[in-house]
Structure 1
Amino acid sequence: MSDSTTSRPVRLRVAPSPTGDPHVGTAYMSMFDLAFARQQGGQFVLRIEDTDRARYQADSEQQIFDTLHWLGLGWDEGPDIGGPYAPYRQSERLDTYRPYVERLLAEGKAYHCWCTGERLKEMRERQQALKQPTGYDRMCLGKTAEERAQLPGYSETPVVRMLIPDDAPTTFTDLIRGEVSAPRPDDQVILKADGFPTYHLAVVVDDHEMGITHVVRGEEWISSTPKHVLLYQWLGLPEPAFAHMPLLRDEKKAKISKRKSPWARLTWFREQGYLPEALLNFLALLGYPPVIERGEDGQQVEREVFDFAEFTERFDWAKVNTVGPIFNLEKLNWLNGHYIRELEVGELASRLLPFLQDAGVLGPQPTLPELGRLRAVTELVQTRIVTLTEAVPLIAPFYTGDADLEIAEDARGQLKDTAEQVLTAALAVLDPIDGTAGTPLGEGVEWTTERIETALREALVDGLGIKPRLAFGPLRTAVSGARVSPPLFESMEILGKASTMARLTRLRDELAATSD
């Protein structure tokens, strides 16, 4: 790291490629970037590295914007909002890279290569067969296009390669790892035949042009850093500080990939109903230690729940874990459940609403009574869900017509021979209780949780002598259509007397018909 890095305003960037659903690693890097930038009073930049045109997907860029915004990882400059170093898409910066390439060619630090892909493939296979180090054999070095055309494997459109010297630097200082050694680099292609720069040139030029002081990326880029350091030195540019984060790994300790793991897609977490604050907390714990506090007994204890503001306040590169963490979904589920339980009921209802609308449980413009019922049901399910999607089947029966409620096969199958008797007794004891479905409970209305529970326990548990589980199972099935549901008596109160009685009657009659 050069001295000029420390004297410049802190500027960090994340630079994802729009090649499909955003990778969870984009959020992982972004939160560390943003935490340090905010702690130091600097800026956080979003740059789109779209030079890989073969894998480019047009809708991916918007997904990057949407998912990072969903997580609250906002940027100060980027393609969507502009900034003093625009444009922020590499495909719009092609004229920026060409002068750097021409300078390297003129100074003999780069050269044209006309080798076809087939020729390069044969070269690598031959090197591997002979157990030689793989790397470009410099067939094109020092030759004109005419001279090279006389040899096999010639392409009329050349690429440009770096000419790596024998004394190329192979060590550098890393903010997380200290002194790091990397392999001697190959003659890396820096300009492709289509005129687009490769990552290695573009990242150096863009980071310099945009004043980036700290480059944070995955540890898989350690082997490429000597190439970048060499380009900084050749071009006389100040080097940024490097921080190579540990790779996120799956349960088999392999680098996570979108091809193998659905949760490698950043959009997956939103689809599954994880809260952004829980995901940020989880990602922080993958690369950073928990908060250490003093317990009541004076002993040190770990606290794993913390928000992004606290993470930012205590951030220190020296504390970042250097060992690739295992992506433990059980820990994420635990955190998500904790954050769900901590939400105010109205806030949780608001977060559940889009999932219910997507599932067709509620329409695009819910009525005030529907929203009021949602708040009441949310309070029932809040402690029973780990993700927002888990609430959908629990809430759906409250918005289903009594005649349309489907009884799940597993719920129907667990009914005992006493179910018809239980339902008949329940209907008899509930009938005298006053109550009007769909209206707020008020003075003189007895259709309350307490009144319902008292009546049913007296009639079924005490009167029929049936154990509570067997006594209330048929009622739960009739009311919700499922084996697992929100608390029974509270559900009956929310549904109202009319719907509750209709559902109990329907199942009772079905059972009676099948027993005849």
Structure 2
Amino acid sequence: MSDQVRVRFAPSPTGHLHIGGARSALFNYLFARNQNGSFIVRIEDTDAARNVDTATEKLLESLKWLGIDWDESVDTGGDYGPYKSMDRLDIYRKYVDQLLAEGKAYHCYMTQEELEKEREEQRARGETPMYSGRDRNLTDEQKQAYEAEGRNPVVRFVVPAGEEIIVDDEVRGQVSFESDGIGDFVIVRQDGIPTYNFAVVIDDYLMEISHVIRGEEHLSNAPRQVLLYQAFGWKTPKFAHASLILNEERQKMSKREESIIQFIEQYRELGYMPEAVVNFIALLGWSPGGEQELLSMDELIEQFELGRVIKAPAVFDTAKMAWMNNQYMKEADDDRVVWLALPHLKKADRLPEFMSEQQKQWAYELIVLHKEKMTCGADIVELTDLFFHDEIQYNSEAQEVLAEEQVPEVLQSFAEQLRLIDSFEADAVKQAMKAVQKETGYKGKQLFMPIRVAVSGQKHGPDLPKMISLLGRETVSDRITALLKDDDS
């Protein structure tokens, strides 16, 4: 194994890229770039029953969207390929044969029914269920008899008895496991396909992986992998197991949980900014040097150290994710925010798919008007609801404002001033409001609040003259006229 830092992200192509997987990829990427090392994306596709045809492409697309690039993978190639497990079966076979020849692995012919019966008997005795080692020392005659019955064996690894297995972890320090609690585990299934724990060791060794950085859920795999490294006489890579990610109730997150957006593709579809998602994910179990929370990719690379990865579980704070994306959107170019939000107005049938230049300009100004309040592109639909309905429902708060003594006079004056202006641009609307102030003597909240509530139904919102300008002369006049009629009646 070389001294160069070489790390990998090795997902299974079973679905979309999950937040937990994205964090593992990001931590590996940041560490590799910080150390001037190599970042490899390898596809662990040995579980054919769970594989999804398009998953690999979608995983790579999600990584690219996050701004994570790689040095070697299925699409770019490299000196250590192939980079898909199922393309490496001949490689694995050589090492399986080596363990069998050295007596460190053996064929096991037990059926699923026999294994389950064995486990039930162990539970009845109050023992931890594990494989008993029944077939470890079969004679040739016994093997032939099983094969005559049509049994296809698995290959199991011989776990040495009475040993303490030490996993040196960069995050957790030394973690100890007892070999007697593991049992001889399967390294090749009946169909001849190696299991994850076997394939990953062979791949990591041959690809000269220096550090294995992954989630805490893989810590239980580490002792099996250490045993395999020892059986081959290979140097073990450095392990670093990042903490679990919990939901806001501090429970382990389920992929079926709907209160949290869990897949990177969903963030992309909702109009999140990838820089914000990366920033947020980086802080799930890692702490920067100072108090700064908004960090660019370059800043994350510069500051990333395994020593700052935290052992305590990380809590997924949805409000913080929304806040962080809002901060990035407020700083983004207007063109980019419009690009993120506009598809959502079209999807909601608020705007046509093909727009005139005038419609495009109106939509652009509408989105930019609400930029400060957006936590993602999809928010634009709800934020702009009042622009797409002829009538407004005034809630109790709005009605309380409209019941104030000066309101009819202010609205009557404002309606008249709007009729007098030629242009309906924001500056002209602003001048009309100043004229109302001069004519009625009302100013501040007594002036602006009735106008805002009358035209929008809301006490708070974006810049008032710009909002009125975008609502348009006819809509604004109709709303004010309707209110004044109701007041007269």
Counterpart residue number, 1:50: 45
Q: Is residue 465 of structure 2 the alignment partner of residue 492 of structure 1?
A: no
1:158 and 1:406 map into 2 onto residues whose CA distance is 72
Report the 3-state secondary structure (helix = DSSP H, G, I; strand = E; otherwise coil) of the residue aligned with 1:44: strand
Counterpart residue number, 1:434: 422
2:475 and 2:391 map into 1 onto residues whose CA distance is 14
Report the 3-state secondary structure (helix = DSSP H, G, I; strand = E; otherwise coil) of the residue aligned with 1:243: strand
On the 8 A contact 2:16/2:58 being kept in 1, the answer is: yes
2:312 and 2:162 map into 1 onto residues whose CA distance is 30
Change (3 A) 1:98 1:363: farther
Deviation at 1:509, TM superposition (A): 4.8
Q: Is residue 120 of structure 2 the alignment partner of residue 125 of structure 1?
A: yes
On the 8 A contact 1:114/1:140 being kept in 2, the answer is: yes
1:424 and 1:249 map into 2 onto residues whose CA distance is 56
Change (3 A) 1:456 1:149: farther
Q: Which of 193, 203, 206 is 1:206 aligned to?
A: 203
Q: Which of 85, 110, 113 is 2:108 aligned to?
A: 113
Deviation at 1:189, TM superposition (A): 0.7
Q: Deviations over 1:285-304 (max 9, x none)?
A: 22222332xxxxxxxxx222
Counterpart residue number, 2:90: 95
More moved, 387-396 vs 272-281: 387-396
Q: Deviations over 1:79-133 (max 9, x none)?
A: 2232223322222222221111111111111111122222222222221221112
Report the 3-state secondary structure (helix = DSSP H, G, I; strand = E; otherwise coil) of the residue aligned with 1:338: helix
**Matched letter for residue 267 of structure 1:** E
Counterpart residue number, 1:268: 266
Counterpart residue number, 2:285: 287
On the 8 A contact 1:97/1:202 being kept in 2, the answer is: yes
Deviation at 1:251, TM superposition (A): 2.3
Counterpart residue number, 1:83: 78
Q: Which of 327, 341, 349 is 2:316 aligned to?
A: 327
Change (3 A) 1:155 1:264: farther
Counterpart residue number, 1:219: 216
* Equivalence map 1:304-383=2 (5 Å): 304-364=293-353, 366-383=355-372
1:82 and 1:363 map into 2 onto residues whose CA distance is 43
Q: Percent identity?
A: 34
* Equivalence map 1:463-482=2 (5 Å): 468-477=448-457
Q: Which of 3, 15, 21 is 1:26 aligned to?
A: 21
Report the 3-state secondary structure (helix = DSSP H, G, I; strand = E; otherwise coil) of the residue aligned with 1:13: strand
Change (3 A) 1:449 1:76: farther
1:461 and 1:387 map into 2 onto residues whose CA distance is 41
On the 8 A contact 2:156/2:186 being kept in 1, the answer is: yes
Counterpart residue number, 1:197: 194
- The TM-score normalised by the length of structure 2 is 0.87
Counterpart residue number, 1:462: 442
Counterpart residue number, 1:390: 379
Root-mean-square deviation over aligned CA pairs: 3.1
Report the 3-state secondary structure (helix = DSSP H, G, I; strand = E; otherwise coil) of the residue aligned with 2:109: strand
Q: Deviations over 1:420-472 (max 9, x none)?
A: 88765543221001116xxxx6xxxx863421432455567839x96643443
2:231 and 2:164 map into 1 onto residues whose CA distance is 12
Change (3 A) 1:60 1:164: same
More moved, 30-39 vs 343-352: 343-352
